[in-house]
A and B are shown apart, each in its own frame.
Chain A
Amino acid sequence: MAVDMRLPTVRKQISLSGSQSTDGKHLVVPGDVITSDTGFMRGHGTYMDDEKLTASVAGEVERVNKLICVRPLKTRFNGEVGDVVVGRITEVQQKRWKVETNSRLDSVLLLSSVNLPGGELRRRSAEDELAMRDYLQEGDLISAEVQSVFSDGALSLHTRSLKYGKLGQGVLVQVSPSLVKRQKTHFHNLPCGASIILGNNGYIWLYPTPGQQDEEAGGYYTSLEPVPLPDREVISRLRNCLLALAAHKVLLYDTSVLYCYESSLSHQMKDILKPEIMDEIVMETRQRLLEQEG
Chain B
Amino acid sequence: MAGLELLSDQGYRLDGRRAAELRKVQARMGVFAQADGSAYIEQGNTRALAVVYGPHEVRGSRSKTLHDRAVINCQYSMATFSTAERKRRPHGDRKSSEMSLHLKQTFEAAVLTQLYPRSQIDIYVKILQSDGGNYSACVNAATLALVDAGIPMRDYVCACTAGFVEDTPLADLCHAEESGGGTTLALALLPRSENIALVQMDARLHQDHLDALMEAAMMACKGLSKVLDSVVRQHLQEVSVLTRE
Contacts and interface: CB of A to CB of B under 8 A. Distances in A.
Interface of A: 14, 16, 20-21, 23, 25, 27, 29-31, 45, 47, 49, 54, 56-60, 72-76, 90, 98, 100, 104-106, 152-153, 178, 247-251, 286
A45 B152 contact: yes
A29 B147 contact: yes
B236 A59 contact: yes
B237 A31 contact: no
Contacts of B241: 14, 16, 20-21
Interface stretch (B92-100, B113-121, B205-213): B113-121
Interface stretch (B52-60, B171-179, B215-223): B52-60
Contacts of A57: 147, 150-153
Contacts of B118: 105, 152
A223 B33 CA distance: 33
Contacts of A56: 112, 152-154
B36 A16 contact: no
Nearest to A103: B56
Contacts of B191: 31
Which label, helix, strand, loop or mixed, suits the secondary structure of the A interface? Answer: loop
Interface string B164-206: 0000000000000000000000000011110000000000000
B2 interface: no
7 contacts: A29-B147, A30-B152, A58-B148, A60-B240, A73-B236, A73-B239, A74-B150
Interface string B75-119: 000000000000000000000000000000000000010001111
Interface residues of B, number: 40
Contacts of A76: 36, 54-56, 150
B132 interface: no
B9 interface: no
A58 B245 contact: no
A247 to B, nearest CB: 8
A233 B33 CA distance: 25
Contacts of A27: 233, 236-237, 240
B56 A104 contact: yes
Interface of B: 33, 36-37, 54-57, 112, 116-119, 147-156, 190-193, 229, 232-233, 235-245
Nearest to B243: A249
Given A21-B237, A152-B118, A47 B57 contact: no
Contact of B236 (A29, A104, A105, A247): A29
A58 B232 contact: yes
A14 B150 contact: no
Given A31-B155, A74-B37, A74-B150, A47 B236 contact: no
Contacts of B154: 30-31, 47, 49, 54, 56
B55 A20 contact: no
Contacts of A20: 241, 244
Contacts of A250: 245
Nearest to A100: B57
Contacts of B237: 16, 21, 27
